[in-house]
Structure 1
Amino acid sequence: MAAQRRGQHARLLVMMALVPLTSAANVETHLETLGFEVPLRQGERLPAWQQRHLEAPQAEPIQRASAPGIRHIREREALPTPIAQRRARYAALVEAEARRQGVDPELVHAVIRAESSYRPRAQSPAGARGLMQLMPATAKRFGVSDIWEPAENIRGGVTYLRFLLDRFEGNLRLVLAAYNAGEGAVAKYGHRIPPYPETRTYVDRVLGFLGSG
């Protein structure tokens, strides 16, 4: 295909040398005839089907969840190569599900990185499973049919995050504490992070990942 295109291009040059072209529009017409893409000139419109695509309604912008004293770091550090490769493998699933449910995709990525380092077969000693380390009871609660299937696991985890964001009014520290220890534990301690070293470490770790991916 590349050789054929180069041949066409060469023939075009010969044509241009032999036949005088009166305007830039003539040159562009020849290029388009041979299948080359030509930028639109000022005032031109795209073909109708492309114009309809561009004019289609766009998804509502995502509102980042926030809490007092917490902000997202815009310049993210480079991820270690193995994690970056695994992240890329699931990025489309995360983006689609997060946007569908109105959750910040970077929050979902930070949770997955903390929970499983993007390993779909990860399992904790307590029985949490998959990319977002869902407990079987949590998976059942949010309608996950196959806890090991990445798309299902991500859907269940994002649904849980959406539930927690609503319950704790976007307070990320409480949301993450509840994701780790359960919303009942956060309620038990007066809507504060439970005094569990593991949970406090987890909250700080995920918030740190929001600055690096």
Structure 2
Amino acid sequence: MRRHFALLLLALASIPAWAGAQREEALAANVASAMSRSIADINAPRLVFDNQQEGQAWLAEMSQRLAKRIPDQWMRERLLTTIHYEASRAGLDPQLVLGLIQVESGFKKYAISPVGARGLMQVMPFWVRSIGTREHNLFDLTMNLRYGCTILRHYLDIERGNLFRALGRYNGSLGRAEYPNLVVGAWQANWQWMPPASLRRTAGH
């Protein structure tokens, strides 16, 4: 299974930006309002761990895994901290979001898909019109992650927690297996993480 995922991920190497087929759909007024509030509520990113040592262990491990893609340590740690914060506040697994970003943009901040999806999480510009303001820049690291995590949370809510269908909606390929399999494959092969045993024992006490 791992080899199968590895082959799928290798096929992505020549694709600058996978995504961009998210479909614009009418939002109920209460849904649009809630999403808008989520987008507008900008706070300074931080690691969301109960145990500070666990957070630092996560950051160090994820930074090492990301080093070949983003050589600058400060940029890696800033990106990872923001991913962890935005994913956590949206009720998403940060490791899943890392897998999605790998598939969507290959961690290229300025990636643009053939149909205009932008940035790390390949957000379609129509979302700015639907739930944001004209000043929102989808190439801004924090703004892009804020939009992407809010949108994926929205799709998960629509699909009552069904990740396969939510990922299909995110990519605009609802009902097809290729894209969800790629994201889950990237997540499982490259970004799964467990706290070191010493930290788990400390937390147990």
Provide TM-score, normalisation by structure 1: 0.53
Q: Which amino acid aligns with 2:123?
A: L
2:148 aligned with 1:157: yes
Question: What is the aligned-residue RMSD (CA, Å)?
Answer: 2.5
Q: Deviations over 1:161-208 (max 9, x none)?
A: 110111111111101100001xxx64xxxxxx14xxxxx322111010
Q: Secondary structure at the match of 1:82?
A: coil
Deviation at 1:142, TM superposition (A): 3.3
2:165 aligned with 1:174: yes
1:91 match: 80
Structure 1 residues 165, 60: CA separation in 2 closer, same or farther (over 3 Å shift)?
A: farther
1:110 match: 99
1:29 match: none
2:181 match: 204
Structure of larger gyration radius = 1
User: Is the Cα–Cα contact under 8 Å of residues 123 and 129 in structure 1 kept in the other structure?
Assistant: yes
1:136-147 superposed matches below 5 A: 136-143=125-132, 145-147=136-138
Unaligned runs of at least 5 residues, structure 1 = 1-58, 62-75, 187-192, 195-199
Aligned mates of 1:172, 1:206 — CA distance in 2: 10
2:33 match: none
Q: Which amino acid aligns with 1:158?
A: C
**Structure 1 runs, 4 residues or longer, greater than 3 Å off:** 78-81, 84-89
Comparing both chains, which one has the higher relative contact order based on Cα–Cα distances under 8 Å and sequence gaps of 6 or more? 2
| Identical amino acids, percent of aligned pairs | 34
Structure 1 residues 60, 129: CA separation in 2 closer, same or farther (over 3 Å shift)?
A: same
Aligned mates of 1:112, 1:87 — CA distance in 2: 14
Q: Secondary structure at the match of 1:210?
A: helix
Q: Which amino acid aligns with 2:86?
A: E
Aligned mates of 1:107, 1:165 — CA distance in 2: 13
Deviation at 1:83, TM superposition (A): 2.7
Structure 1 residues 207, 113: CA separation in 2 closer, same or farther (over 3 Å shift)?
A: same
Q: Which amino acid aligns with 1:162?
A: R
Provide TM-score, normalisation by structure 2: 0.55
1:122 match: 111
User: Is the Cα–Cα contact under 8 Å of residues 120 and 130 in structure 1 kept in the other structure?
Assistant: yes
Structure 1 residues 87, 176: CA separation in 2 closer, same or farther (over 3 Å shift)?
A: farther
Unaligned runs of at least 5 residues, structure 2 = 1-47, 51-61, 192-205
User: Is the Cα–Cα contact under 8 Å of residues 98 and 108 in structure 1 kept in the other structure?
Assistant: yes
Q: In the comparison of the two structures, how many residue pairs are matched?
A: 126
Structure 1 residues 89, 82: CA separation in 2 closer, same or farther (over 3 Å shift)?
A: farther
